[in-house]
Amino acid sequence: MAAEELRAVVEALRLVDHHVHGAATGELDRAGFDDGLTESAWPAPEGTTHLDSQLGFAVRRWCAPVLDLPPHTEPDAYLARRKELGWTEVTRRLLTAAGVGCFLVETGYRAQQILTPEQMAQTCGATAAEVVRLETVAEDVAADGVDAAGFADRFAAVLDERARRAVGLKSVIAYRHGLDFDPDPPGPGQVRAAAGRWLRRRQTGEERLADPVLLRHLLWTGVEHGLPLQFHVGFGDADLTLYRNDPSLMTGFLRRVQDRRVPVMLLHCYPYHRTAGYLAHVFPHVYCDVGLAVTYTGARSRAVVAETLEVAPFGKLLFSSDGWGPAELHHLGAVLWRRAVTAVLGEWVEWGEWSGADAVRVAQMVGSGNARRVYGLEEPP
């Protein structure tokens, strides 16, 4: 009885996806589909496919029925049907069935290939707000022309402007350097010198911002700005070095920003999600999710979700899909999270450890309430 009620509540819950990107525009061929369903930058080795994976199996299991196909449909048949329906209809169906009430859309990665926040919202009757990626703003500032002496002021001004309607900021220092960065803010002279070096390197074609001094300067400018600050942590593509993504490497930084009243949102965190839970436990300003890891671990996502529900306080956990590209990712983020939460919390109720009412309440907090509180979102009507 409690199990059925929990299932119904979780099923009906309008989620806040607090870290997501736009769904892809345009049709996907097999290569594009395979490429969209892996964090690898390369084709699978001969004799294998990226779709022989938990994510690939989850697409065939859970997305196929949304396209009127039987569960476990083979990839080629799935893609044929996808093409037959057309990408706008497929995206509409998958996003709508995800049941997300509000998307917080991070717009800093290949924004021209994907739907805008407004389009995401319109596609499925949700609302949307923006999360601004610090490094992209800096790269835009450089592309628009600035000198070393003017970089810091110009960056701060453009960030203020871009963030005016945003609800959060995002750092990818985990990719560009690692979380083992110097916890103190760099001085103005260091920033100017680092900007000079980077602006010169840009003239030789290296546009990507990876200078550790500048990355830290962006972070601290973000902290000054005051919006919740999201960090990529852990599982992601081959650009990162995993052992440098342990979020406890950021402990010194977390201590230094504690009095700034800026919520720090640790994203994904796999396989360091227990460490992230510890940080969320001891530091009042730290929050976490297992976003991308839920999608990519498919049938195992309930184990991963359960591990986040150990020492992390329930008021500090959020839901995200981190979907980018194929709308299957946005869909599965929500579907797998719902299934995981229903199974995990339901089991604790069944064992007599939790009350059914608490299970319902925690599912609502993690799926929506915590994000609404931290980002200051309006309650849905």
Q: Which is nearer to a second copy, 72 or 200 (CB)?
A: 72
Q: How far is the CB of 310 from a second copy (least distance, A)?
A: 4
Q: How far is the CB of 289 from a second copy (least distance, A)?
A: 16
Which residues, in sequence order, are bridge partners of residue 168?
Answer: 131
Q: Which is nearer to a second copy, 278 or 337 (CB)?
A: 278
> Interaction with a second copy in 23-42: which residues (CB under 8 A)?
38-42
What is the strand order of the sheet 100-106 is part of?
15-20, 100-106, 127-133, 166-171, 229-233, 264-268, 286-288
- Are 94 and 59 in contact, with CB atoms under 8 Å apart? no
Q: How far is the CB of 281 from a second copy (least distance, A)?
A: 6
Q: Which is nearer to a second copy, 188 or 284 (CB)?
A: 284
**Which DSSP category does 168 fall into?**
E
* Residue choice 14, 237, 376, 380 for contact with a second copy (CB under 8 A): 237
Burial class (CB in 10 A: 0-12, 13-18, 19+), 219: buried
**364 touches a second copy (CB under 8 A):** no
Instruction: Give me the residue label for tokens 């989850």.
Output: 58
Q: How far is the CB of 53 from a second copy (least distance, A)?
A: 5
Q: How far is the CB of 144 from a second copy (least distance, A)?
A: 33
> Interaction with a second copy in 53-82: which residues (CB under 8 A)?
53-54, 57-58, 61, 71-72
Among 251, 264, 100, 256, CA closest to 171: 264
Q: How far is the CB of 39 from a second copy (least distance, A)?
A: 6
- Are 342 and 324 in contact, with CB atoms under 8 Å apart? no
Among 37, 19, 177, CA closest to 104: 19
Instruction: Using CB under 8 A, count the residues that bind a second copy.
Output: 72
**183 touches a second copy (CB under 8 A):** no
- In angstroms, rounded to a whole number, what is the distance separating the alpha carbons of residues 288 and 301? 16
> Interaction with a second copy in 298-357: which residues (CB under 8 A)?
298-300, 303-304, 306-307, 309-311, 313-316, 348, 351-355, 357
Q: Which is nearer to a second copy, 169 or 371 (CB)?
A: 371
3-state SS track over 37-101 = CCCCCCCCCCCCCCCCCHHHHHHHHHHHHHHCCCCCCCHHHHHHHHHHHCHHHHHHHHHHHHCEE
**161 touches a second copy (CB under 8 A):** no
**365 touches a second copy (CB under 8 A):** yes
Q: How far is the CB of 181 from a second copy (least distance, A)?
A: 14
Beta strands 229-233 and 127-133 are unpaired
Q: Which is nearer to a second copy, 141 or 374 (CB)?
A: 374
Residues 242-271, one symbol each (x = binds a second copy by CB under 8 A, - = not), give xx--x-xx-xx--x--------------xx
Q: Which is nearer to a second copy, 119 or 251 (CB)?
A: 251
Q: Which is nearer to a second copy, 148 or 242 (CB)?
A: 242
Beta strands in the chain (DSSP E): 15-20, 100-106, 127-133, 166-171, 229-233, 264-268, 286-288
**241 touches a second copy (CB under 8 A):** yes
